[in-house]
Structure 1
Amino acid sequence: MSNIHLFAIVSLLLGCICFFAFKYAKQRKFSGLIVFSLLLAGLVLRIIIAINQTGFSYDIQAFSAWADRMYQVGPSKFYSPDVFTDYPPLYMLVLYLVGLLRSVFQIEHFSNLHILLLKIPAIICDLVCSYLIYSEANKHFSQSRALVLMSTYLFLPAIILNSSAWGQIDATHTLIVILMCLLLKDKKMIPAYIVYAIGVLLKPQTLIFTPLLLVGIWDQVFLNGFQKKNFYQNLLGGLAVILGMIVFCLPFGIDSVFKQYLKTLSSYPYASANAYNFWSLIGMNWSDQNTKFLFFSAKTWGSIVIVLIVVFVFLLSRYLKNNQAKYFILGVFITFTMFVFSVRMHERYVYPALALLLFAFIYKPTKALWVCFTGLAVLHYYNAAHVLYFYDPANYNSRVPIILLVSAGMFLLFFYFLYAFNRYLAEENGLKFALMKNSQEKDSKLINRLKRFLFKPSAPIPSSPKVSFSKLDLILLLAIMIVYSSFALYDLGDQKAPLTRYEMQQDDSIVLQFPEDAQPQILSYYIAPPHDISFTLETGQATEDDWNYTEQIIWQNVFSWSNTSLPEKVRFAKLTLHSLNASVIELTFLDDKGNVVLPENASEYKTLFDESSLHPQVASFRNSMYFDEIYHARTAYEYLHGLPTYEYTHPPMGKIFISLGIALFGMNPFGWRIIGTLFGIFMLPFLYLFGKRITKSTTAAALSCWLFAFDFMHFVQTRIATIDVYVTFFIIVMYYFMYKYCTISFYDQGLRKTFIPLGICGIAMGFAIACKWSGIYAAAGLAVLFFAHLLKRYKEYLYAKASPHGRTGTMSHDKILKNFLPYTVKTIGFCLIFFIVIPLAIYLLSYLPFVDPVNPGLLNKAVANQTNMFNYHSMLDVEHSFSSLWFEWPIMIRPVWFYSRVVSNTLREGISTFGNPLIWWIGVPAFIYQLYLLFRRSKSSLARNSTGLKNHLRKSTTDLTHEELYSTSFLTIGYLAVYLPWVFVSRLTFIYHYFPSVPFAILLIIQSLMQWKKRVAKRTFLIGTCIYAVLVFGLFILFYPILAGTPVEQSFVIKYLRWLPDWIFVAN
């Protein structure tokens, strides 16, 4: 992979260097020898690579076999049902020449010369394409700029890889498409028909560009002054070309050629065939195209995409009118859209877009188009090179990071291309675009910008007015909490479970005798720590000492009902412990009908059989631990009973909260889950208050609370006894109070009032870190926000210093000058206590119930555990079938399957954690949109550079007010603080690590909706938000069975809930 990364970097550098070379190229003329020398250098480079790289063995062997076959049997017998041949007849004639030369000169198969002969047609087409770029660019720019563009294409690694290293012929197909576009541009329709026909006879992928030809016909024949003569000329010309194609195919056999086309077009029936696109991003590379995705098969979606492409090509052509770049930019749109979203795409099908982008750039050189070109050059190289050098069908893994990252890059680049296309349409005077500007007009000195940022005075901003909390707010909040609580508390778990324990030591035995008429078939057990305890089970029929069956058994999960099968006839049973000790809470023997069979001597082991009435009909999440409860809830139990701590990989605080529920309600499923569920309920007021404080809108506050209430992950994670709920709760709290602190000023509110939210924030931060180390990520974001706030106060101080006796609003400048330094010092001192001393105390005290026999003493065991935790997480090198990478989380590629049970042949139970699609899939676009609002140009800049569709875009956005600018910046920093660090985590990760990011994503959605509110009537906004809220709740109800573990028809889950291939919710 190192070489692939190297040449990908070369591609990026080449794109950047050539961009600046083009930008600053001087008006110079060169002799034709320079052009010839560059082309010769490109040819030599390709020849060297071609003879040193065998290429893709499958393709090279096929081309070689076809070349020999064409020469040996001729066209008439070439196509045969017994021989694999999936290329059209024209390229077979090219290969005929290769076969002829190899035979005449007795060239050894797969020798360097033979491989070069197979690759040389595509190499020649590379050179011709490069020259056409130079020729066309020379008509619009200086010769030096034309040479830069030619060199860019000529030496691009992705282009060289295809023809010279791989040995494929996409260059021939690309040359045809370029020629067709040039002819359509020049209104030479009949030659365009001929070139298109040649392309179809060369490579069937030319059919993808049929909409281009249709647009050309519509423009030249029907739209621009319809004339009968012109119509009939084109009609007859088109028919003549079709007839020519038929005549050309006659030697091959019309029927054979037609069947060959059908066979080729129907081949590779997969969602993706190594194209790293949308389908590969969701794990469907090499998945059958009939696999369902969002109610339809991938094949159906592919057909929908093709129809939409045709429709949009005609619509977009109207905006482009007579633009010279029309057919090239539409060609890019067709290629890119097909590659990213259609089915049966190979890795090379986006290849023509590189040349088409350069031609579009020639006619209107925009920076955005060049970014598209460079990005595509890098991503396509990664895709093609990875397939060429690393594709192994026998050991294929669709979740290799390079596949997912390149697929995500292609997906994002496509939307950037749409943005670039929009700008392309908008820039009617594009030849004088921004990249032509003199660089001296821009201040490129970073240090000066930094100085201005740090030391530019800014007018003092008063504290934000107090946010009112009305009766309506209270009613809405309570209503949401009540509705959510009814779902969250329902079927949370049994409130009773066996409690009494029977303690055993190594070699202890339990000997049981059953009634003669009893037939126990199953031994059901319920144990306390330790786990994985080893027994010997012996059974007999005659006497207590006549054991005729022996089995070694291991009892694994604690506080979970589990079963061990018994022989058919059991009168006596003996369990002998081999582990050091065991704590058995309850044993229950069942017959074949599920009835409890009580041993005759049960009274000898009273605590083993005293709670048989609590034995459930079936073991489920309602009466047993599931997923990581076996670690976290178990450790909470150990804290209460002073037992050695089992789960040490996270700080203790989260498990202390779990133990609180156990202490109040007992060691049962309800007891170990209730506190987390209550924390989940009390997250909602903070989301409501956060939304209200940011937007000052009751509607927005209620919507933010509602969205979080009915996000799937919020529901699932707060109903399982793990620690993620607690760290997420405290992250919400600490960011809420930091926001409150940052929106008040100690200049007009006084110092003490600022200490209240700041102190609560610090305490919450301490609890967050004491629950889980990911709280440290969030704390880093707080630090950024806090010091940014102090910087703002400092810049206000500089402003006041310039006018010491002035006033800004109600704040006098002399008071600012007097108080800045002492208030700042006191604030930092306060923070040392509340953000360092108190959090350290909270963290250290959380180790009070932690038992470490090796390291006694509070400080010793706390310090030792930090080392153990770090070693565990840094050295964790395991795999899990439901793990996922950070960039997969917002897309929800792979939910985590917490629980599963087969109820009947058709009914299933399951619990999975993932997000509500109407929240998570909107959250990332909302984040990107908010970033756009933060960094987009000012109105004046937009006005200078915006026309056409750009004006339409401007109407759909708005400038941020100062308060919106700050709140958006605040949420963006918070979102990145809890999400971005996971990019650098190499250990095993899961989608629930995204949980702390969800509140920020929701608030960013709310911020985006508030921008929309500015452009619509109040009634429209209210109706829109209500519809959105209803849809979110509707999805929650739809998916509720697999979130809550409710029995559901397996067919319903597969048909309506499995939107993505890896959404596995119930057992088969």
Structure 2
Amino acid sequence: MPPFYPEFFRGAGWILPLVVTVVGGVLRFWNLVWPNSLIFDETYYAKDAWSMYVYGWEHSWVDSNTANPKLVGPGTMGHNGAASFNCNPCQEFVAHPPVGKWVIGAGEQFWGLNPVGWRLMEALLGTLAIYIIARAARRMFRSTLMGCVAGLLLAFDGLAFVMARTALLDGVQMFFILGGFAALLVDRDKARARLADWREERGSGVLLGMGERGPGLGLRPWRLVAGLSLGLATATKWNGVFFVAVFALLSVAWDRGARRAVGVRRPSLAVLLRDVPRAFVALPVTAVFVFVASYAGWFFDTANGGGYNRFWANAHPSNFWPTWTDPLRSLWNYVDQQYGFNANLQSPHPYQSNPWSWFVLGRPVAFYYEAPKTGQQGCTPSMGSCSAEVLALGNPLLWWLATAAIVFLFWRWIGRRDWRAAAILAGIAAGVVPWLWYAQRTIFSFYAIAFLPFMVLGATMAIGSILGRADASPTRRVWGSAVAGTLVVGIVALFAYFYPIYTGQTIPYTDWSNHMWLPSWI
């Protein structure tokens, strides 16, 4: 790895990642209105998000007052943006917690119930994620150059791009997972700095009276920020709980390594006594608190009968739990139903895939596909047959490079005890390993967005190794720069090549077919 490159100029570590972020943001916000309709599962989340701000919980959009019940939606809204929920009863079972819908709904409240409105927050969070990963990579690799590379890779990944322009929950969850990881990186550095200061004072003859355990590290606000962010991730989709567990263990492992580095003789015992209790409160406990708090609208807004399952406990009294716990018992039953639904969903779907195939982009999901006729949507006679598609396809060069880099990461972790490689592998494992247990379930490749930042960090670490150390020979640096630069330019170029099928542009069918590199992409 090239860990120590000098700054390009004062403030470069903040300004250059911001430049990369602006580039990625322009791409994400440009023509956000297209496709000008609900695509794929936006039909659920855009509507649920709107009802969250009207009722505090997901309201049914089925008109049961007609002989032929149908979904009413954004196309039926009046000019004032008011929704008409004609249903009886209006409670609706939903499979996911509320935070992602609260986030999507914030954009609708600002811009209205239209394509830009329900995609606005996705684009904003997708843009901010570029800056966060650039800063996180800079902190990990101690290199502004590597931070900018990580930001560029995320900015020009097709899956990240499409998810930032589609009102689904997964892009929101990715942002909170990445935010939690970045906060833990800051916490790691600050904790090590405190221990280093203690060691320096101890070495100068000032003993702090902490014996072999080392000092307590006091308030650690960044670890609490991580707990809040990971709690929001879990309150967006249930699989966020695996990131909470993995990152809690990772943070404690970092504490053990830090205490050992400053000479604590029994670091494991020291961490168990001094760090684990506070880490437990800051991460899992905080995440649970955030998860429960995310149902505030469901708890307190009981108009029109309340949300789904809100009064379940009233009909199922307990001889053990006091009555004031009834709302929590109702929520527990609801969450248990959600888990059962998610764990056992096995409805066949043409775009379902096995988690192993995600790494090689085996079966991307088409969010939108139309075959415009001549004279429609820009289809001209010279084009012949036309196609327009939004395909949630990762950048092939980036994903295949990152997949190959997993072997390199294992080598760095096992052979060199590189904490960065271990952290990246932990993030990838938290995102994909649980789905292997549920492989029989109906699952989709765009779920991989949750661990995409760690694939990007893995690819960045590999590119840094190819680039070479700052003190390498001139010949080594020239060849390393040429190969690393070619990879980055190639990723950007491939994004430009696939751009039409990321954005639903109307292109000749033959051109569309040329973009389908694998039969499974069709």
Band the TM-score falls in, shorter-chain normalisation: 0.7 to 0.9
Report the equivalent of 1:779: 244
Residue equivalent to 1:852? 307
- In structure 2, the residue matched to 1:348 is none
Corresponding position: 1:706 with 2:149: no
The Cα of 1:831 is off from its aligned counterpart by: 2.6
Number of residues of Structure 1 aligned to a counterpart in Structure 2? 439
Q: Which has the higher strand share?
A: 1
Seen in structure 2, the aligned counterparts of structure 1 residues 753 and 709 have a Cα distance that, compared at 3 Å, is farther
Describe the shift of the 1:653–1:1049 C-alpha distance in structure 2 as closer, same or farther (beyond 3 A).
same
RMSD: 3.5
Is there any run of 5+ residues in structure 1 with no aligned partner, and where? 1-463, 498-527, 537-552, 561-584, 587-606, 615-633, 803-815, 937-959
Instruction: Give the corresponding residue for 2:521.
Output: 1063
CA drift at 1:885: 0.4
Distance 1:1035 1:532 in 2: 45
Q: Give the letter aligned to residue 505 of structure 2.
A: T
State the 1:839 CA deviation: 2.0
CA separation in 1, counterparts of 2:188 and 2:84? 41
Please state how far the C-alpha of 1:1046 moved relative to its aligned partner: 1.6
Describe the shift of the 1:496–1:997 C-alpha distance in structure 2 as closer, same or farther (beyond 3 A).
closer
* Shift in alpha-carbon separation, 1:854–1:824, aligned structure 2, 3 A: closer
Q: Secondary structure at the match of 1:1062?
A: helix
- 2:508 maps to what in 1? 1049
3-state DSSP class of the match of 1:849? helix
Q: Which residue of 2 is the match for residue 1010 of structure 1?
A: 464
Shift of 1:679: 0.5
Shift in alpha-carbon separation, 1:645–1:1021, aligned structure 2, 3 A: farther
- Please say if residues 739 and 970 of structure 1, whose CA atoms lie closer than 8 Å, have aligned partners that are also in contact: no
Equivalence for 2:178: 732
Identical-pair percentage = 21
2:359 matches 1:890: yes
Provide the rounded CA distance (Å) in 2 between the counterparts of 1:645 and 1:1031.
50
By how many angstroms is 1:884 displaced?
0.3
Q: How does 1:471-490 map to 2 (within 5 A)?
A: 471-490=11-30
Report the counterpart of residue 276 of structure 2 in structure 1.
828
User: How far apart are the structure 2 equivalents of 1:1027 and 1:1049?
Assistant: 30
> Using the alignment, how far apart are the partners of 1:485 and 1:827 within structure 2?
39
1:970-1026 deviation per Cα after TM superposition (whole angstroms, max 9, x unaligned):
211221122111111131110011112211111111212222214664444444433
2:350 paired with 1:881:
yes
* Contact 1:891/1:920 (<8 A) preserved: yes
What is the alpha-carbon distance in structure 2 between the residues aligned to residue 970 and residue 725 of structure 1?
A: 21
Give 3-state SS (helix, strand or coil) of 1:748's partner: helix
On the 8 A contact 2:223/2:283 being kept in 1, the answer is no
**Following the alignment from structure 1 to structure 2, what is the Cα–Cα distance between the partners of residues 669 and 761?**
31
Maintained 8 Å contact 2:244/2:284 = no
CA deviations 1:232-287 (Å, max 9, x no partner) are xxxxxxxxxxxxxxxxxxxxxxxxxxxxxxxxxxxxxxxxxxxxxxxxxxxxxxxx
Which has the higher relative contact order, 1 or 2, with Cα contacts under 8 A spaced 6 or more apart?
2
Q: Is the 8 A contact 1:494 1:668 kept in 2?
A: no
**What is aligned with 1:967?**
420
**What letter is aligned with 1:1031?**
G
- Aligned pairs for 1:198-597 (under 5 A) are 470-493=10-33, 530-531=61-62, 535=66, 555-556=70-71, 558-560=73-75, 585=76
Letter paired with 1:873? N
Post-superposition shift, 1:648?
1.6
| Cα distance in 2, alignment partners of residues 980 and 852 from structure 1 | 33
Name the counterpart of 2:449: 995
Task: Give 1:865's aligned amino acid.
Answer: Y
Q: Does 1:927 align with 2:406?
A: yes
CA distance in 2, matches of 1:913, 1:712: 7
Matched letter for residue 922 of structure 1: L
**Matching residue of 2:227:** 762
CA–CA distance in structure 1, aligned partners of residues 481 and 387 of structure 2: 39
Query: What amino acid is the match of 2:103?
Result: F
Counterparts in 2 of 1:626-705, with a 5 A limit?
644=90, 646=92, 648-705=94-151
Which of 429, 432, 436 is the aligned partner of 1:976? 429
**Code of the aligned partner of 2:289:** A
Is the contact made by 1:900 and 1:908 (CA closer than 8 Å) also made in structure 2? yes
Q: Which amino acid aligns with 1:1006?
A: T
Matched residues in 1 for 2:74 and 2:246: separation? Answer: 39
Do the aligned partners of residues 535 and 493 (structure 1) sit closer, same or farther apart at CA in structure 2, a change above 3 Å counting?
same
Structure 1 pair 865/469, CA: closer, same or farther in 2 (3 Å)? farther
Name the CA shift for 1:895/1:732 in 2 (closer, same or farther; >3 Å): same
For residue 787 of structure 1, report the CA deviation from its aligned partner: 2.9
Cα deviation digits, residues 758-802 of structure 1 (max 9, x gap): 1211111111111111111111211321232343356457x5559
Q: 2: distance between equivalents of 1:1054 and 1:1033?
A: 21
1:677/1:832 CA distance change after superposition, 3 Å: same
Alignment deviations for residues 828-883 of structure 1 (CA, whole Å, 9 cap, x no partner) = 34334322443222111111223425424752442222121022123322100000
The answer to whether the Cα contact below 8 Å between 1:638 and 1:645 also exists between their aligned partners in 2 is no
Q: Distance in 2 between matches of 1:907 and 1:487?
A: 24
- Alignment correspondent of 1:1031: 490
In structure 2, the partner of 1:183 is none
With the length of structure 1 as denominator, give the TM-score of the two structures: 0.38
Query: In structure 1, what is the Cα distance between the partners aligned to 2:97 and 2:13?
Result: 37
Task: Give the aligned residue type for 1:484.
Answer: G
Structure whose alpha-carbon radius of gyration is higher: 1
**Alignment deviations for residues 700-732 of structure 1 (CA, whole Å, 9 cap, x no partner):** 111110001110010111111111012111111
Q: Give SS of 1:1036's match.
A: helix
Is 2:108–2:114's contact at 8 Å kept on the other side of the alignment? yes
